[in-house]
A and B are shown apart, each in its own frame.
Chain A
Amino acid sequence: MAVDRSDIEKIATLARIKLDENSIPEITSSICDILALVDKMQLVKTDDIEPMAHPLDAIQRLRCDKVTEEDQREAFQQIAPQTEDGLYLVPKVIE
């Protein structure tokens, strides 16, 4: 499977990634290489293998329902670009 420039531009938009115009040819060819590798992996016969949800053969540990966290808003908000009235401010989004 191969992708072209327009695919890369669309994926970048969906992933909210800004691409440098000049880098697009290189990225396109890298992704084509990766997809070629995936195509190769697809040739492996996996019909008799049950899919795994996780590479570790283990099950999820559970937590008991207790509040263990204290308010650390001040510390967290020190590394936020902008805050006001305890809220994190972000560029306006409205759907």
Chain B
Amino acid sequence: MEWETVIGLEVHVQLATQSKIFSGSSTRFGAAPNTQACAVDLAMPGTLPVLNEQALRYAIMFGLAIDADINQRSVFDRKNYFYPDLPKGYQTTQLDEPIVGPGLIEVQLDDGSCKQIRIHHAHLEEDAGKSLHEDFHGMSGIDLNRAGTPLIEIVSEPDMRTSEEAIAFAKKLHSIVTCLGISDGDMSQGSMRFDVNISVRPKGTEELGTRTETKNLNSFRFMERAIKLEVERQIDLIEDGGSIAQETRLYDSDKNISRSMRSKEEANDYRYFPCPDLLPISIDASYINELRENLPELPEAKKARFVSSYALSAYDANMLTADRATADYFEALSQACGDAKLAANWLMGELSASLNNHDINIEHCPISAKQLAELISRIKDNTISGKIAKQVFEAMWNGEGSADTIIEAKGLKQVSDSGAIEAMVEEVLSANQAMVDDYLGEEVEKKRKKKFNALVGRVMQASKGKANPSQVNQILQKKLDS
């Protein structure tokens, strides 16, 4: 039987505020345990929450970016459950009256087609602390620095049918929140986490199958793997005559397996009710309009601008606007070197490869846009060849100095002195008489070209890559034809 997969996503996005959603503690990542957990975060008796306006503003900005209804009245609820990293015994969240109502996100797939994914709603809530289970003599250690960090939870409709669509949707959300500047989007620090609801049904049928929820995926790659794994598991189970249990599952990225975390029967009864410590939120239409008018450039608009003002292909523009940091780097690089195409090639080529290899975000790139622009300018003004530039790039990456310093120190300047090149060409020709004869005796044009290129290669080798390639071509041709 042919099966169809149905996927819905719940996405938690940490908002880039300075302080927590309900307290004045810092949200900075990486501080010593519990040094950013105040009396409110610790749920000390008598403390009261006060909502951070910036968190509210960021949630509204997200809603505006996806053309959603912004609810002018919105209410916080308590979601009750017991876990030691949740000191109050409830999470302050929103249930029936969330800040952001239904919206729509369009994603582009690899084959160029577009797909619309409906957003059910997005709401504000607080993050929990962290539990550490190792090395505490059979006890668990609790760090409450993250408790109270503002989140928006974005809930999609079950509109995705493949892992590719789910990943495209997740990436689009990432690009929207980073373009808006409402989240740093740093997945390695948990700034964006995905819960994936998955079910399967016979192709052509309407009724939804029983779904499972795989929680807390924190990279696009893990998400893709976890979806594939769960879809296979469900289809195998049904085809073997079994049935799917509604449950929450955990994905183990080290072993690429998933296991059941809790079944529907064990599920918490969250006993939601309106939070008596927080009054309803009321937002003026003028407040929303002002945010709408000042919304930063969104990914779609940026992409269109990159195509029109930098003459980039749609593919390049798509890659370069995937997140704001990359887009900003590109614009700085392109302006500084004055060549958008070269800037795009270097950013998506050497620079991306090095960042990936070292697992570094572009925000922490060891080579600034200005420094890379200097290198590109040296290719443009023929000081070095593209090939040598890669060597210079590597030295720059290793912190050996600026492009000019490295070119000077290593003597990498391109040789454009035709006398010097001529001497090299002559030397290579006399040392490789057999190759020359072979070339001259060849009658098939294609093969002749290949043999010519082999000789160019020898000259370049003799010059240690420094000879100006087009001059080598010219001079060699002249010599051979004479």
- Residues on A facing B (Cβ under 8 Å): 14, 16, 53-56, 58-69, 71-73, 76-77, 82, 84-95
Give bound CA distance, A73 to B33, whole Å: 9
Chain A contacts of B36 at CB under 8 A? 69, 71
Determine whether the beta carbon of A88 is less than 8 Å from that of B34: yes
Q: How far is the CA of A7 from the CA of B347 in the complex (A)?
A: 64
User: Distance (Å) between the CB of B381 and the closest chain A CB?
Assistant: 47
The count of residues in chain B whose C-beta lies closer than 8 Å to any C-beta of chain A is 50
Flag if A88 contacts B133 (CB, 8 Å): no
Contact A95 B262 (CB under 8 A): yes
Measured between beta carbons, the chain A residues less than 8 angstroms from B131 are: 93
> Pick the contact of B33 from A62, A63, A86 — CB < 8 Å?
A86
Q: Which residues of B contact A59 (CB under 8 A)?
A: 279-282
Give a binary string over B54-83; 1 marks a CB under 8 Å from any A CB, 0 the rest. 111000000000000000000100000011
In the bound assembly, the distance between CA atoms of A64 and B269 in angstroms comes to: 34
Q: Does B163 contact A (CB under 8 A)?
A: no
User: Which residue on chain B has the smallest CB distance to residue A59?
Assistant: B282
Q: Interface on B for A, CB 8 Å cutoff?
A: 17-19, 23-26, 32-39, 42, 44, 50-56, 75, 82-84, 97, 131-133, 136, 138-144, 261-262, 269, 274, 276, 278-282
B18 lies within 8 A of A85 (CB): no
A68 to B38, CA, bound (A): 10
Q: Which B residues are in CB contact (< 8 Å) with A58?
A: 279
User: In the complex, are the beta carbons of B139 and A92 less than 8 A apart?
Assistant: yes
Residue of B nearest to A63 (CB): B50
Mostly, the A contact residues are loop
State the Cβ distance, A9 to closest chain B Cβ, in Å.
Answer: 15
Residues of B within 8 A of A92 (CB): 133, 138-140
CB-defined contacts of A16 to chain B, threshold 8 Å: 82
CA distance A64 to B262 in the complex (A): 39
Q: Cβ of A89 and Cβ of B19 under 8 Å apart?
A: no
Closest to A95 in B: B261
C-alpha gap A16/B268 in the complex (Å): 12
Is the Cβ of B84 less than 8 Å from the Cβ of A87? no
A54–B138 Cα distance when bound, in Å, is 43
Given known pairs A60-B51, A63-B52, A65-B52, the reply for A94 and B133 (CB within 8 Å) is: yes
Cα distance A66–B56 in the bound complex, in angstroms: 14
* Pairwise interchain contact B33-A61, C-beta atoms closer than 8 A: no
Q: Are B25 and A89 in contact (CB under 8 A)?
A: no
With A66-B19, A76-B42 as known contacts, state yes or no: A89 contacts B142, CB within 8 Å: yes
Instruction: Kindly list 9 other residue pairs between chains A and B, CB separation below 8 angstroms, not including A87-B132, A95-B262.
Output: A65-B54, A67-B18, A72-B38, A76-B39, A86-B32, A86-B143, A87-B136, A88-B34, A90-B140
Q: Is the CB of B24 within 8 A of A68?
A: yes
Please determine whether B51 and A85 come into contact, CB atoms closer than 8 angstroms: no
Do A73 and B24 touch (CB < 8 A)? no
Task: Find chain B residues with CB under 8 A from A53 CB.
Answer: 75, 97, 274, 279-280
- Across the interface, B37 reaches (CB within 8 A) one of A63, A73, A94, A95, namely A73
Contact B140–A67 (Cβ < 8 Å): no
Residues of A within 8 A of B139 (CB): 82, 89-92
A93 touching B83, Cβ below 8 Å? yes
Contacting pair A86 B34 (CB below 8 A):
yes
**Contacting residue for A88 out of B144, B276, B281, CB 8 A:** B144
Tell whether, in the assembled complex, residue A67 and residue B84 are in contact, meaning their CB atoms are under 8 Å apart: no
Q: Are the C-beta atoms of B25 and A67 separated by less than 8 Å?
A: yes
Q: Please determine whether A67 and B33 come into contact, CB atoms closer than 8 angstroms.
A: no
Residues of A near B281 (CB, < 8 A) are 59-60
A27 to chain B, nearest CB (A): 18
Contacting pair A62 B140 (CB below 8 A) = no
> Within the assembled complex, what's the spacing in Å between the Cα atoms of A64 and B131?
30
Q: How far is the CB of B56 from chain A (nearest CB, A)?
A: 7
Residue of A nearest to B53 (CB): A62
The residue in chain A whose Cβ has the minimal distance to the Cβ of B28 is A67
Known: A69-B26, A88-B142, A91-B140. A64 touches B38 (CB 8 A): no
Residues of B within 8 A of A54 (CB): 274, 276, 278-280
Closest to A92 in B: B140
Residue of B nearest to A11 (CB): B269
Q: Which of A60, A69, A82, A94 touches B23 (beta carbons < 8 Å)?
A: A69
A76 neighbours in B (Cβ, 8 Å): 34, 37, 39, 42, 44
| Structural contact, B280 and A69, CB atoms closer than 8 A | no
25 interchain pairs, CB-CB under 8 A? A54-B274, A54-B276, A59-B281, A61-B51, A62-B52, A63-B50, A65-B53, A65-B55, A66-B18, A66-B24, A68-B19, A69-B38, A71-B35, A76-B34, A76-B39, A77-B34, A85-B33, A89-B136, A89-B139, A89-B140, A89-B141, A91-B140, A92-B139, A94-B133, A95-B261
A54 to B56, CA, bound (A): 19
Q: Which residues of A contact B278 (CB under 8 A)?
A: 54, 60
User: A87 near B19 (CB under 8 angstroms)?
Assistant: no
Q: Is the CB of A93 within 8 A of B35?
A: no
Contact B279 A87 (CB under 8 A): no
Give Cα A41 to B281, complex, Å: 28
- Min CB distance B252 to A, Å, is 13
* A67-B141 in contact (CB<8A): no
